[in-house]
A = this chain, B = another copy of it.
Amino acid sequence: MKAAVFVEPGVMEVHDVPEPAIEKPTDAIVRVLDACVCGSDLWWFRGISQRQHGSLAGHEAIGIVEKVGADVREIKPGDFVIVPFTHGCGHCAACKAGFDADCPNVEPGGNAGYQAEVMRAINADGALIRIPGTPDDYSADMRASLLALSDVMATGYHAAVSAEVKPGDTAVVFGDGAVGLCGVLGARMLGAERIIAMSRHADRQAVAREFGATDVVPERGDEAVERVMELTGGDGADAVLECVGSEQSTLTALAVARAGATIGRVGVPHIDAAKLDVNSLFWRNVGLKGGPASVITYDRNVLLDAVLDGRIEPGKVFTAAFDLDHVQDAYQAMDERRAIKSLIHIG
């Protein structure tokens, strides 16, 4: 089968590799219909973080279940499913508490190679999200929104939940990548009245406004702090969504939080923890929460219904589409900011 392979920083290729097989009785084999590139993939694509050369890539997909292991009870061959990047077992303390990204019952590396014709999904009953009907029942736009539920929409929503957005709040969202934009959508779902999107790119600003942003701030650093303080009458924001993870973004996020506000962070931290002065947060009663998103939990409890009802259209973050043979282009388009997020049609 064909699969996307990370050759070296800046280079993705499509190789012919053996099809994965059931290894554990709780596995499923999924034929991938659509996959995509994540903003977090750019860290290793750009060579900033490490990744094993020759490894398969991708952690977001929708597809059709082809085979299931002997212990899989709920998921059946033929099911149309979302394959989240989290793959919690569903019965440990972390999963039961709704933090499926922190399930200890996973394999090192977890699911791998979603950007491939066929993939192995572990903990099938715990982790796969069944979509009603068949792919043919859905428009291309709806399929894109379903694909967004494998990571990016749930991650943006996790930022909003972690930031404890409440009805009537003023929320600030750092990051105008696909996750940040979904954070805007998440803040709106939780009832934020005013949503300030930190964005300096016209295409992303447009999506942010479509998703519910009421204000757009292009400034960064101290100027951004000043601008948000102006917009909030000097009080700071009730809820802060940090969807980048860089040092500048994180420190700016801390600075614009109102006393008693909580920062929900979902951007993979690329800041030295020592630079994050949690003692000053203490005196301001500013909370810090967040981490890898509870994709399974959110999809099952709220997000799948919201997409099926047409309440949210997170698929709008996909502004470019490629086939698997053009996976290099899919990465480059995001790397060069020509695409907000790249969709890869496979099946």
Please report A residues at the B interface, Cβ cutoff 8 Å.
92-94, 97-99, 101-102, 162, 233, 235-236, 238, 258-262, 265, 269, 271, 273-274, 276-292, 294
Shortest 9 CB-CB distances between A and B: which pairs? A99-B260, A102-B259, A287-B289, A285-B291, A274-B274, A93-B235, A94-B259, A269-B279, A273-B279
Contacts of A259 in B (CB 8 A): 93-94, 97, 99, 102
Contacts of A97 in B (CB 8 A): 238, 258-261
- Bound CA span A284–B289, Å: 10
Given contacts A99-B260, A235-B93, A260-B94, A290 and B279 within 8 Å (CB-CB): no
CB pairs A–B below 8 angstroms (30 shown)? A92-B235, A93-B233, A93-B236, A93-B258, A94-B258, A94-B259, A97-B259, A98-B260, A99-B260, A102-B259, A162-B287, A262-B289, A265-B282, A269-B282, A273-B274, A273-B276, A273-B279, A274-B274, A278-B288, A281-B291, A282-B290, A283-B291, A284-B291, A285-B289, A285-B291, A285-B292, A285-B294, A287-B288, A288-B288, A289-B289
Look across to chain B and name the residue whose beta carbon is closest to the beta carbon of A288: B288
- Bound CA span A238–B98, Å: 12
Look across to chain B and name the residue whose beta carbon is closest to the beta carbon of A92: B235
- Bound CA span A273–B288, Å: 14
Task: Work out how many copies of this chain go into the complex.
Answer: 2
